[in-house]
C-alpha cells in the first residue's frame, strides 16, 4: 500500500477516536419549531423576569396542580443548603427500591452530595431525590414538613408538598405534591440565585464515579431546549401520566433573564419558546405595566428551615467530575479539547508526512545524481577504449 495512503488512513482513524466523545454526548443544535396548534394551551403558565420578579404573562398561575419532576427543584434547594458540600450521603432503603428514573443506588452506599444533585436535576433520578431528602431532613417522611417550611419562607402561596421526587401515584411517599406555576417560578428564581444549582441546570453532560465505584455519565433531559433556544440556561423537565408534561425554562438576552413555566401540555419546548419570545418582546418594547405584579423578593432567608438560599456552595473535597455547559457551546467541555487535540493530531501527521515526502525527494535526487555520475563515467570509458590499438598507441606514445 502506498505510504501516503497509509498515513491518511491513520490520521482518519485517530480523528475518529478523538472525536468519538462528541458523537456520544453531543446532540445537534436545532431550532425549536413553532407551536403546531396555538389553541391547545398549557393548563397553566407564567413568564417572569428572573431579576426583578415581574410577572410578564400568566394563565391560571395560582392553580395548584400535579407538576411531576419539576418539583425536584425544591428538593435541590433544601439539599444544597442543609447538606455539607463535602458530606457523603447515605442511601436509605427507600432510595434503592424507588421506581425509575434512577441511577441504581443501593442501600448502605455513600454518594457525594453534588453528584446526587446533578443526577436529580439532569436525569431526574428518583433515588437521588430520596437520598437527598433523607439526608436533608433525617428521613424521607420528615422531608414533607421541611419542604412546606421552605416554601412558606420563599413566599409560595399555593403549594402542598409530598413525595420529594414528584411521584404522584400510589407509590408516592406522603402523597403527591401540588404546585402552582406561580410557586414554581419562585423556586426557579431561587435556583438561578444559587450558584451551584444555577450551574447544574445549565449543564449538558456530567461524569463522575458513584458510590458504587462505577463511572456514571449523565445527559440533561432538558437538552432539546438548551440546545434549541438562543440564550437558554435552564431549568427542569417533568412528566407523569397524571401530571402530563411540565417544564420550567430560563433564558438570557442581554441583561434580561426570563423564566417560563408551562404545565400539562404536550409541546412543552414549543410553548416555552413561544412564551419567552413574547416576554422578551414585551420588555424590549417597554410594554410591561408599571404596576405589574411581582414575585416575592429573594434574599437571605431560612431561619426556621435552617437554609440560606443565596449561600455559595464549594466543590467537594476529592470530587472528580467533568461537566458540559451550554454557554454558547452545545458540547461544552468536550468540544474545545476534542477540536484542539484533533487539530494537533492532524498537524503532527502532516508534519511527519511532509518530512517523509522531503526525505523521499532528497533520496530520489541523490539517486539521480549518482546515476548521472555513473553514466558520465561510463561515457568516458566508452570514449577511451584501451582494447583499441589506436587508443593504446596514443596513450603509450611519448
Tens-digit pLDDT profile for residues 343-395: 776 777 777 777 777 877 787 777 777 777 766 666 555 544 444 555 455 44
Give pLDDT, residue 21.
Answer: 43
Give pLDDT, residue 182.
Answer: 98
Burial class of residue 337 (count of CB atoms within 10 Å of its CB; 0-12, 13-18, 19+): exposed
Give the Cα-Cα-Cα angle 105, 108, 196 (nearest 5 degrees): 55
With bands split at pLDDT 50, 70 and 90, how would you rate the model's confidence at 292? very high
DSSP of 290-309, one letter per residue?
A: TT--BPPPP-S--TTTT--T
- Cβ neighbors of 356 (< 8 A, separation 6 or more) are 3, 7
Give pLDDT, residue 365.
Answer: 78
Give pLDDT, residue 322.
Answer: 52
DSSP of 213-281, one letter per residue?
A: S-EEEEE-TTHHHHHHSTTEEEEEEEEETTTEEEEEEEEEETTEEEEEEEES-S-HHHHHHHHHHHHHH
Give pLDDT, residue 389.
Answer: 53
Please give the Cα distance from 299 to 296 (Å, whole number): 9
Look at residue 114 and tell me whether its pLDDT is greater than 70: yes
Give pLDDT, residue 118.
Answer: 98
pLDDT above 70: percentage of residues in the chain: 75
Give pLDDT, residue 10.
Answer: 59
Give pLDDT, residue 338.
Answer: 54
Domain residues of the chain, as ranges? 1-26+332-398, 29-330
Place of cell 450521603: 89
Give pLDDT, residue 373.
Answer: 72
Average confidence (pLDDT) over 23-46: 82
Look at residue 23 and tell me whether its pLDDT is greater than 50: no
Active site residue 59: no
| C-alpha cell recorded at residue 32 | 425549536
> pLDDT per residue over 132-169, tens digit each?
999 999 999 999 999 998 999 999 999 999 999 999 99
Place of cell 577504449: 385
Look at residue 340 and tell me whether its pLDDT is greater than 80: no
Look at residue 42 and tell me whether its pLDDT is greater than 60: yes
Q: What is the dihedral of CA 99, 102, 106, 111, to 10 degrees?
A: -140
With bands split at pLDDT 50, 70 and 90, how would you rate the model's confidence at 1? low
CATH architecture under which domain 29-330 falls: 3-Layer(aba) Sandwich (3.40)
* Mutual angle of helices 72-82 and 113-122, in 10-degree steps: 170
With bands split at pLDDT 50, 70 and 90, how would you rate the model's confidence at 24? very low
> pLDDT per residue over 254-276, tens digit each?
999 999 999 999 999 999 999 99
Give pLDDT, residue 361.
Answer: 79
Q: Which residue has the higher pLDDT, 290 or 62?
A: 62
* Candidates 44, 58, 71, 124; catalytic one: 124
Give pLDDT, residue 346.
Answer: 78
Give pLDDT, residue 15.
Answer: 53
With bands split at pLDDT 50, 70 and 90, how would you rate the model's confidence at 85? very high
* Candidates 58, 61, 69, 202; catalytic one: 69
Average confidence (pLDDT) over 23-27: 47
* Candidates 44, 61, 71, 72; catalytic one: 72
Give pLDDT, residue 376.
Answer: 64
Average confidence (pLDDT) over 64-82: 96
Q: Which of 215-219, 337-341, 360-364 has the highest mean pLDDT?
A: 215-219
Give pLDDT, residue 298.
Answer: 80
Integer angstrom CA distances of residue 130 from 139, 215, 266:
9, 21, 28
Q: Which residue has the higher pLDDT, 65 or 20?
A: 65
Cβ atoms < 10 Å from Cβ of 25: 22
Give pLDDT, residue 367.
Answer: 76
Average confidence (pLDDT) over 71-85: 95
Active site residue 198: no
Please give the Cα distance from 126 to 122 (Å, whole number): 11
Give pLDDT, residue 262.
Answer: 98
Integer angstrom CA distances of residue 272 from 60, 231, 267, 268:
16, 13, 8, 6
Average confidence (pLDDT) over 43-50: 98
- Percent of residues in the chain assigned helix, strand, coil, to nearest 5: 45, 15, 35
Active site residue 43: no
Mean pLDDT lowest among 143-147, 220-224, 336-340, 342-346? 336-340
Nearest Cα to 66, choosing from 137, 199, 172? 172
Amino acid at each position: 500500500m502506498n505510504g501516503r495512503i497509509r498515513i491518511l488512513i491513520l490520521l482518519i482513524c485517530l480523528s475518529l477516536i478523538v472525536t468519538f466523545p462528541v458523537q456520544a454526548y453531543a446532540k445537534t443544535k436545532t431550532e425549536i419549531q413553532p407551536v403546531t396548534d396555538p389553541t391547545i394551551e398549557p393548563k397553566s403558565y407564567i413568564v417572569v423576569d428572573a431579576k426583578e420578579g415581574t410577572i410578564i404573562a400568566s394563565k391560571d398561575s395560582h392553580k395548584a396542580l400535579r407538576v411531576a419532576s419539576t418539583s425536584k427543584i425544591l428538593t435541590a434547594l433544601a439539599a444544597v443548603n442543609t447538606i455539607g458540600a463535602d458530606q457523603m450521603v447515605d442511601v436509605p432503603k427507600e432510595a434503592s427500591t424507588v421506581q425509575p428514573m434512577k441511577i441504581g443506588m443501593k442501600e448502605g452506599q455513600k454518594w457525594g452530595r453534588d453528584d446526587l444533585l446533578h443526577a436529580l436535576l439532569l436525569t431526574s433520578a428518583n433515588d437521588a431525590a430520596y437520598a437527598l431528602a433523607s439526608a436533608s431532613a433525617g428521613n424521607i417522611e420528615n422531608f414533607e414538613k421541611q419542604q412546606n417550611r421552605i416554601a412558606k419562607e420563599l413566599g409560595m402561596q399555593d403549594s402542598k408538598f409530598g413525595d420529594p421526587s414528584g411521584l404522584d401515584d400510589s407509590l408516592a411517599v406522603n402523597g403527591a405534591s401540588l404546585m402552582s406555576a406561580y410557586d414554581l417560578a419562585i423556586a426557579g428564581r431561587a435556583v438561578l440565585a444559587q450558584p451551584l444549582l444555577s450551574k447544574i441546570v445549565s449543564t449538558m453532560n456530567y461524569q463522575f464515579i458513584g458510590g458504587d465505584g462505577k463511572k456514571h455519565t449523565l445527559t440533561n433531559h432538558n437538552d432539546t431546549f438548551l440546545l434549541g433556544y438562543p440564550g437558554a440556561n435552564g431549568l427542569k423537565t417533568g412528566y407523569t401520566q397524571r401530571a402530563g408534561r411540565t417544564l420550567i425554562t430560563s433564558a438570557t438576552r442581554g441583561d434580561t433573564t426570563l423564566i417560563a413555566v408551562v404545565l400539562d401540555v404536550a409541546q412543552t419546548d414549543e410553548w416555552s419558546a413561544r412564551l419567552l419570545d413574547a416576554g422578551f418582546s414585551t420588555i424590549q418594547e417597554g410594554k410591561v405595566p408599571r404596576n405589574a405584579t411581582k414575585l416575592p423578593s429573594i434574599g437571605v432567608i431560612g431561619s426556621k428551615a435552617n437554609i440560606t438560599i443565596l449561600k455559595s456552595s464549594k466543590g467537594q473535597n476529592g470530587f472528580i467530575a467533568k461537566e458540559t455547559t451550554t454557554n454558547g457551546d452545545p458540547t461544552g467541555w468536550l468540544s474545545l479539547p476534542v477540536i484542539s487535540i484533533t487539530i494537533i493530531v492532524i498537524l503532527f501527521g502532516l508534519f511527519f508526512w511532509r518530512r517523509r515526502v522531503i526525505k523521499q525527494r532528497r533520496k530520489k535526487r541523490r539517486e539521480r545524481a549518482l546515476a548521472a555520475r555513473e553514466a558520465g563515467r561510463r561515457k568516458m570509458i566508452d570514449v577511451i577504449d584501451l582494447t583499441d590499438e589506436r587508443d593504446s598507441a596514443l596513450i603509450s606514445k611519448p
